[in-house]
Chains A and B, each alone.
Chain A
Amino acid sequence: DAGVTQSPTHLIKTRGQQVTLRCSPKSGHDTVSWYQQALGQGPQFIFQYYEEEERQRGNFPDRFSGHQFPNYSSELNVNALLLGDSALYLCASGLGGIGSYEQYFGPGTRLTVT
């Protein structure tokens, strides 16, 4: 049984560019949440997708957007990249929408913005 998978593993982009990160949830899970983890910090909640809709959002600008597909996989898009967007981007999956505190994380995508 595969856990949460993310692609790509690493990514290097230039300021002003756009990036798309991908996530497949653990088998049987129906919610996907995205987190940003800066070096030496804990993960920060970006948003959660459930039933193909954004259900909750953290304090991130509109440059951060996402999508959930019918097979529950998800994408995170970041536009107009800034140097400060360099971080580890984590995807977490769970069950049951906003009621699910039991979240399982993927290995992350390390984004470097130069």
Chain B
Amino acid sequence: QKEVEQDPGPLSVPEGAIVSLNCTYSNSAFQYFMWYRQYSRKGPELLMYTYSSGNKEDGRFTAQVDKSSKYISLFIRDSQPSDSATYLCAMSSYSSASKIIFGSGTRLSIRP
């Protein structure tokens, strides 16, 4: 069993829709939770990060962490065609914060 599970998609939604991306994990030691966006043939770009449980909002993006369920989410409001990319959830523990464990990524396509 992988430490981090993520639905690979692909996910296709119309422009303006709300997108929900999710990951589950098994390691209760994870404390730092990140979302990366990766365009084709590019390196991952850090979108958001949170520590422990709770919500964090940044513009059209909201990250949620539910440690009791070992479940994290990323919501994208008013989705745009430029949001089309692969979204990777990632996490690490307090004792090894820079050893980041990634999900396999969800490919998202926003239809104009």
Q: Is B32 an interface residue (CB 8 A)?
A: yes
Report whether A33 and B98 are in contact in the complex, using a CB–CB cutoff of 8 Å: yes
Question: Among B38-46, B55-63, B64-72, B76-84, which stretch is in contact with chain A?
Answer: B38-46
Given contacts A42-B88, A42-B105, A108-B43, contact A101 B100 (CB under 8 A): yes
Given contacts A106-B43, A107-B43, contact A97 B102 (CB under 8 A): no
Considering residues B92, B98, B99, which has the most beta carbons from chain A within 10 angstroms of its beta carbon?
Answer: B98
Which residues of B80-112 have CB atoms within 8 Å of chain A's CB atoms? 88, 90, 92, 95-105
Which residues of A44-100 have CB atoms within 8 Å of chain B's CB atoms? 44-45, 48, 56, 58, 90, 92, 94, 97-100
Closest to B92 in A: A101
Measured CB to CB, the closest approach of chain B to A31, in angstroms, equals 6
Q: What residues of A have a CB within 8 angstroms of the CB of B42 in the complex?
A: 107-108
Q: What residues of B have a CB within 8 angstroms of the CB of A48 in the complex?
A: 98-99
Report whether A103 and B46 are in contact in the complex, using a CB–CB cutoff of 8 Å: yes
Given contacts A40-B8, A42-B88, A90-B44, contact A97 B98 (CB under 8 A): yes
Q: A4 CA to B32 CA in the complex, in Å? A: 22
Q: A66 CA to B96 CA in the complex, in Å? A: 19
Report whether B46 and A104 are in contact in the complex, using a CB–CB cutoff of 8 Å: yes
Range for the number of chain B residues in contact with chain A: 20 to 34
Q: A42 CA to B102 CA in the complex, in Å? A: 6
Which residues of B16-72 have CB atoms within 8 Å of chain A's CB atoms? 32, 34, 36, 41-46, 49
Q: A80 CA to B45 CA in the complex, in Å? A: 31
Given contacts A40-B8, A101-B34, contact A45 B45 (CB under 8 A): no
Closest to A45 in B: B99
Q: List 8 A-B contacts (CB under 8 A).
A: A4-B43, A42-B102, A43-B88, A44-B102, A98-B95, A101-B49, A101-B98, A102-B49
A42-B103, A99-B97 given; 17 more Cβ-contact pairs under 8 Å: A31-B98, A33-B98, A41-B105, A42-B4, A42-B102, A42-B104, A43-B44, A43-B100, A44-B102, A58-B99, A90-B43, A98-B98, A100-B97, A106-B43, A107-B43, A108-B42, A110-B41
